[in-house]
Amino acid sequence: MYSREIFLNTLNFEKGQRTLKWEFGFWGGTIKKWRNEGYIEKTKFTRDILYGEFINGPGIQYPMPSYDEDVLFATDLKEVFKLDNGPAPFPFNWFYFPRFEKVVLEQTSEKVKYIGSDGITRIAFKDERSMPLWVDHPIRNESDWETIKEEKLNLLNFAERFTVKDIKNAVKNLKNRDFPLILYGSPIGFFGILRFMIGEENLYLWYYDKPDFIRKIIEYLCEFWLEIAEELTSLADFDYGYFFEDMAYNNGSLISPSIFKEFMMPYYKKLIDFAKSKGVKHFIVDSDGFIEDLIPLFIECGMTGMLPFEIRSGNNIERIRNKYPKFHILGGIDKTALESKEKIDLELEKVSRMIPFGGYIPYIDHAVPPNISWENFKYYRNKLNEIIDSTRVL
């Protein structure tokens, strides 16, 4: 059975079906550590991996056509554990084009200050062992926005935004795909992307000091993305809409419900209503942190599910399932439970209880960290595969 078929059956709560075998991703340092613990890769990465970089698993979109091409995928681990094919976006850049030039501004033996392809100036450890310090952003005033809009957020060069050379052949191959195809996709959203463009502090201030300016940016992006969606849905059929936000932390949302309703909800409804008119039925949003309080707001927008439900932030997927029985839940396995086999056994008990309800794809609630041993990950992943193979939607 194709991953695409299993995915749609799962999101449709089809009875008698198994769910998908996916993983969200891995720290580069985790894989480096596993190499010293008996993990032997048959399929090698195309370059050296960094300790703190995120290595994609099949539980999150890959590739990343709206960013750079340097993102890596855990192909070997997917093969070792016989994981299903993950979702992919249409090969098209929905963001800056051309991208910003990467420029190194300063560096020491351990750190580097640089401008990335997204225009953000960062100070980071060279091995990416921790989150970078964001020190500047491409939009500092209305003049910056007008320049970027004119130079990098227009559709005058639409054909150049395709990220494959032979788009006709790519479209032809998509007709018989064995994976879910994403409409929209990262970085599309109305909070997370503004944090990249403006910076978090200025964004919070401008919601109150410059609301018309924020609204101007959001309205432009919404129409920009709708124009792209109009063109791409004429080329292919899509399985679900995916959005990126990261709008919560350990204790809750980073913005108030009133800000959400004013600056996000109307525009999400536009994107979702358009997709529905093209036959897309499912819409998933990605946000870290404690997201339970956001679920009613996203449901009102038209979202049908979320990921990855970080457990240490307080999310409880069984409570969420009881409260929202038809809401899609992706992720929700506590990464810290992999510290011992006893904790793994206890954590996977809830997976056995969750799968029969349908609409659930279980995997670790973010990237697998370096403190998890290869032995414990193998134990967890093999046991989870057994549960998935033996448990059906009732």
Q: What pLDDT, in 10s, does the model give residues 282-307? A: 999 999 999 999 999 999 999 999 99
For residue 107, list its beta bridge partners. Answer: 112
Fold designation for 3-99+138-390: TIM Barrel (3.20.20)
Intervals of CATH 3.20.20.210 along the chain: 3-99+138-390
What confidence score (pLDDT) does residue 69 get? 83
- How much is the average pLDDT of 238-266? 96
Q: What percent of the chain has pLDDT over 70?
A: 100
Q: Is the pLDDT assigned to residue 154 strictly greater than 70?
A: yes
Report pLDDT digits (tens) over 324-344. 999 999 999 999 999 999 999
Query: How does residue 68 score in pLDDT terms, banded at 50, 70 and 90?
Result: confident
Nearest to 372 by CA among 341, 334, 338, 337: 338
In this structure, the strands spanning 103-107 and 111-115 are antiparallel
| Cα gap 358→334, rounded to integer Å | 20
Using DSSP, state whether 103 is helix, strand or coil.
strand
| Cα gap 234→278, rounded to integer Å | 9
Q: What percent of the chain has pLDDT over 90?
A: 98
Report pLDDT digits (tens) over 214-234. 999 999 999 999 999 999 999
Tokens 């309080």 locate to 293
| Cα gap 93→114, rounded to integer Å | 22
Decide if 292 contacts 315 (C-beta within 8 A).
yes
Decide if 288 contacts 196 (C-beta within 8 A).
no
| Cα gap 23→62, rounded to integer Å | 12
Mean pLDDT of the residues in the chain: 97
> pTM for this one?
0.97
